[in-house]
Chains A and B, each alone.
Chain A
Amino acid sequence: MSPERLPEILMVDDMDSNLEVLASILSSEGWDLAFAISGDDALEQVGARLPDLVLLDINMPGMNGFEVCRRLKADERTRAVPVIFLTARTFVEDITRGFGLGAVDFVTKPFHREELLARVRTHLELSLARSTISAQNQQLARINQELENRVQRRTRDLSASNQRLREEIEEHQRTEERLRESEQRFRLLVEGVTDYAIFMLDLAGRISSWNAGAQRFKGYGAAEIIGEHLSRFHVPEDVEAGLAEHALDTARNQGHFEGQGWRLRNDGQRFWAHVVIDPIHDDGNELIGYAVITRDITQQRLAEQALNRTMEELMQSNASLEQFAYAASHDLKAPLRNIFSFVQLLEAQCDGQHSEEVARCLGFIRDNAQRMHALIEGVLEYSQVRTDQSGEAPVDLNSVVQHARENLAESIRNSEALIQVGDLPTLRGRDALLLQLFQNLIANAIKFQPGDHQPRVSIRATASDDHWEVTVADNGIGIDTPHPERIFGIFHRLHRSVDYPGTGIGLAICKKAVEHHGGTIQVVSTPGQGSAFIIRLPQQPRR
């Protein structure tokens, strides 16, 4: 029932007259009225209209009022409709029974108008109130349920959040633990190093940490040095020159400082140090200090200086020797030439006139003078194999060999030598030296041949690793010696001059030329069959 709508009352009585009386009383209130004349009729109408109140006569034929009430109350749908019994009798048993069945009131006939109205009004209001309360209760229940649901959900969410938080906290703790361990290990490592001074500076350049190496090199214990400025270790000249500021500035601005110089121990002694300073930044890339690593390289420096001095001396000595060799040989040539030429003149004078003995003696003099001349020229040539770096350029070995062949044209022609040249590489080096190398090797290949042999020379190149391997092979007399490597020694000869003339300088020059280019030369030979000279030259110039 809703308060907006007019209440509907169902009157149930089998006697019309009673219904009329009821109707006349109730109509004055403006309520909707309906009537039923029997128990069945009443049940039907209540079921159909669900009135707000039922006035129910007890005495009816067929189904009496009690039965109707009982059925109404038994049906869920109609249970809530208030029933007021109308009765002529006022027996206590009836009243008790009526209330027991769920009726809400009794009214006795004949009706008293005001009493009837009052009771009906009251019960209508009660019913209204009841259903309002009931509706509100239902709503409350719904709201409650909703709230409970929400609370449950919230609780579940919170619980899940909590769990995650707990896990995160555990993770953090584990990470912190690992970090602590790692820092610990690192600290032990650094502290324990004795060969390097490793220490840290704060932003102002003051010592903030120390290690065993630092104590060893600089002499200070941690307690006395922490807080002191970096310049404590610098020699007076460097302090004046502002070395500390410069070093820290460089480290700060360029990310790294490296240098060598004198440093001071606590006892005032100097040592030569190699120093590296790096800036240290925190996670936000803010500068928080510097890390310094210092090494005592006094010994190395002394050794280096001694080495440099020795090298200087050696180079000077070498230069002097070369100059000497050059000057000596040069000055020796002129007198020799004179001896040779004058002997020739004497021989011309002697022609046929003096004894054979004289002629032979003159011959020996001339031969020896010639030999000396050749030796001196060889020494000159050898000393002039320049080992400085100037004049390096890409050299095509094919044209070098061609040049050598042109230089040896006459002897190639005379001996009818066959020279086969494969594809040779181009490499970086000195043109003149490489020419001497190949020219000497080819000349030897042609010279050291038996009798009427046609010399055959082959020059081939192969690449191996980062080297070129050039082989100059011949079909000559070969090299018969227990120490093949010695043939590259200066003046070393295997044959008598009368058999094969020569100064023993050619191969020495070859070796010098090859070594200038950072390469090696070796010989492989079968006496009586021929020799092969294997030259290895780096593809990229070393030095």
Chain B
Amino acid sequence: MLESPDAPATILVVDDDPAALYLIEKALKKINPADVTYSASDGTETLAFLRKEGRYAAMPTPDLVLLDWNLPNVHGRDVMAQIHADPVLQQIPVVVITTSKSERDREEAMSLQASGYKVKELDFYLFTEDLRTIRNYHLGLLEE
């Protein structure tokens, strides 16, 4: 929980597409330059980071995770399943950000206790606004 929107948050962004990562980080920077963002490009890395395994031992617990759904190898649903199964990790809000409009994917993500599911907007500016809403809401600063 943050006191104000300006307070810095720690956000983990997961996407296997470097271009998509760049866009999300750029958008977050616009929303709050003080936010600290970490990135992972696959599911294995994500879980290691969250569990603070190996080289991630000193990593902080993120206030919010933005998770791409269609990850190679360890899929977004596998990541969600493991997070949900872990009593510590399931406290962390995870919002799925994806290009997939599929209702089935949405339902699956929500059934694995994702905190949200957002389809990536084509337009960068609209996308930025979506992220702002997501960030502020899940950090306890906004009413839904």
Q: Which residues of A contact B (CB under 8 A)?
A: 330, 333-338, 340-342, 344-345, 370, 373, 377, 380
Rounded to whole angstroms, the CA-CA distance of A336 and B19 in the bound complex is 11
Q: Chain A residues near B124: list those with CB within 8 A.
A: 340-341, 344-345
Q: A330-B99, A337-B99, A338-B23 are in contact. Are A344 and B123 (CB under 8 A)?
A: yes
- Say if the beta carbon of B20 comes within 8 Å of chain A: yes
Inter-chain contact total with CB atoms closer than 8 Å: 36
Cross-chain contact A330 with B23 (CB below 8 angstroms): no
**Chain B residue with the shortest CB-CB distance to A326:** B102
Q: Chain B residues near A380: list those with CB within 8 A.
A: 101
Q: Chain B residues near A337: list those with CB within 8 A.
A: 20, 99, 120, 122
Cross-chain contact A370 with B122 (CB below 8 angstroms): yes
Q: A338-B17, A338-B20, A345-B26 are in contact. Are A330 and B122 (CB under 8 A)?
A: no
Cross-chain contact B100 with A341 (CB below 8 angstroms): no
Name the one of B19, B26, B70, B125 contacting A338, with C-beta atoms under 8 angstroms: B19
Q: Chain A residues near B38: list those with CB within 8 A.
A: none
Cross-chain contact B99 with A340 (CB below 8 angstroms): no
Cross-chain contact B99 with A341 (CB below 8 angstroms): no
Rounded to whole angstroms, the CA-CA distance of A411 and B90 in the bound complex is 41
Cross-chain contact A330 with B123 (CB below 8 angstroms): no
Q: A330-B99, A330-B100, A333-B99 are in contact. Are A342 and B19 (CB under 8 A)?
A: yes
Q: Chain A residues near B120: list those with CB within 8 A.
A: 337
Q: Chain A residues near B70: list those with CB within 8 A.
A: 330
Q: Which 7 A-B pairs have the closest CB atoms?
A: A338-B19, A341-B124, A344-B124, A333-B99, A334-B99, A341-B23, A340-B122
Rounded to whole angstroms, the CA-CA distance of A333 and B26 in the bound complex is 20
Q: Chain B residues near A373: list those with CB within 8 A.
A: 122
A380 CB to nearest B CB, Å: 8
Rounded to whole angstroms, the CA-CA distance of A373 and B120 in the bound complex is 12
**Chain B residue with the shortest CB-CB distance to A332:** B99
Rounded to whole angstroms, the CA-CA distance of A335 and B19 in the bound complex is 8
In which size bucket is the chain B interface? 10 to 19
Rounded to whole angstroms, the CA-CA distance of A341 and B120 in the bound complex is 11
Q: Assuming A330-B99, A336-B122, A342-B23, what are 19 further A-B pairs, CB within 8 angstroms?
A: A330-B70, A330-B100, A333-B99, A334-B17, A334-B99, A335-B19, A337-B99, A337-B120, A337-B122, A338-B17, A338-B19, A338-B23, A340-B122, A341-B23, A341-B122, A341-B124, A342-B19, A345-B26, A373-B122
Rounded to whole angstroms, the CA-CA distance of A86 and B140 in the bound complex is 177
Kindly supply a per-residue 1/0 record for chain B positions 115-130, scoring 1 wherever the CB is within 8 Å of any chain A CB and 0 otherwise.
Answer: 0000010111101000
B86 CB to nearest A CB, Å: 29
Rounded to whole angstroms, the CA-CA distance of A344 and B26 in the bound complex is 12
Q: Chain A residues near B20: list those with CB within 8 A.
A: 334, 337-338
Q: Chain A residues near B127: list those with CB within 8 A.
A: 341
Rounded to whole angstroms, the CA-CA distance of A342 and B24 in the bound complex is 12
Complex interface residues of chain B between 16 and 56 (CB less than 8 A to chain A): 17, 19-20, 23, 26
Rounded to whole angstroms, the CA-CA distance of A528 and B74 in the bound complex is 57
Centre residue among A338, A340, A377 by max chain B CB count within 10 A: A338
Cross-chain pairs A/B with CB under 8 angstroms, 26 sampled = A330-B70, A330-B99, A330-B100, A333-B99, A334-B20, A334-B99, A335-B19, A337-B20, A337-B99, A337-B120, A337-B122, A338-B17, A338-B19, A338-B20, A340-B123, A340-B124, A341-B23, A341-B127, A342-B19, A342-B23, A344-B124, A344-B125, A345-B26, A345-B124, A373-B122, A380-B101
Q: Chain B residues near A333: list those with CB within 8 A.
A: 99
Rounded to whole angstroms, the CA-CA distance of A345 and B26 in the bound complex is 10
Kindly supply a per-residue 1/0 record for chain B positions 92-108, scoring 1 wherever the CB is within 8 Å of any chain A CB and 0 otherwise.
Answer: 00000001110000000
Q: Chain B residues near A340: list those with CB within 8 A.
A: 122-124
Q: Chain A residues near B123: list those with CB within 8 A.
A: 340-341, 344
Q: Chain A residues near B100: list those with CB within 8 A.
A: 330
Q: Chain B residues near A370: list those with CB within 8 A.
A: 122
Rounded to whole angstroms, the CA-CA distance of A377 and B121 in the bound complex is 13
**Chain B residue with the shortest CB-CB distance to A339:** B19
Q: Chain B residues near A344: list those with CB within 8 A.
A: 123-125
Centre residue among A336, A340, A341, A377 by max chain B CB count within 10 A: A341
**Chain B residue with the shortest CB-CB distance to A338:** B19
Rounded to whole angstroms, the CA-CA distance of A330 and B105 in the bound complex is 13
A165 CB to nearest B CB, Å: 90
Rounded to whole angstroms, the CA-CA distance of A337 and B101 in the bound complex is 14
B53 CB to nearest A CB, Å: 29
A385 CB to nearest B CB, Å: 14
**Chain B residue with the shortest CB-CB distance to A369:** B122
B14 CB to nearest A CB, Å: 14
**Chain B residue with the shortest CB-CB distance to A340:** B122
Q: Chain B residues near A330: list those with CB within 8 A.
A: 70, 99-100
B9 CB to nearest A CB, Å: 23
Centre residue among A335, A337, A342, A344 by max chain B CB count within 10 A: A337
Rounded to whole angstroms, the CA-CA distance of A13 and B15 in the bound complex is 178
Rounded to whole angstroms, the CA-CA distance of A336 and B99 in the bound complex is 11
Rounded to whole angstroms, the CA-CA distance of A334 and B71 in the bound complex is 13
Rounded to whole angstroms, the CA-CA distance of A342 and B70 in the bound complex is 21
Rounded to whole angstroms, the CA-CA distance of A380 and B105 in the bound complex is 15
Rounded to whole angstroms, the CA-CA distance of A370 and B100 in the bound complex is 17
Rounded to whole angstroms, the CA-CA distance of A338 and B122 in the bound complex is 8
Rounded to whole angstroms, the CA-CA distance of A336 and B20 in the bound complex is 11
B33 CB to nearest A CB, Å: 17
Centre residue among B23, B70, B122 by max chain A CB count within 10 A: B122
**Chain B residue with the shortest CB-CB distance to A374:** B122
Rounded to whole angstroms, the CA-CA distance of A334 and B101 in the bound complex is 12
A365 CB to nearest B CB, Å: 14
A172 CB to nearest B CB, Å: 81
B94 CB to nearest A CB, Å: 20
Rounded to whole angstroms, the CA-CA distance of A296 and B123 in the bound complex is 68
A335 CB to nearest B CB, Å: 8
**Chain B residue with the shortest CB-CB distance to A336:** B122
Rounded to whole angstroms, the CA-CA distance of A156 and B99 in the bound complex is 113
Q: Chain B residues near A336: list those with CB within 8 A.
A: 122
Q: Chain B residues near A335: list those with CB within 8 A.
A: 19
Rounded to whole angstroms, the CA-CA distance of A342 and B18 in the bound complex is 12
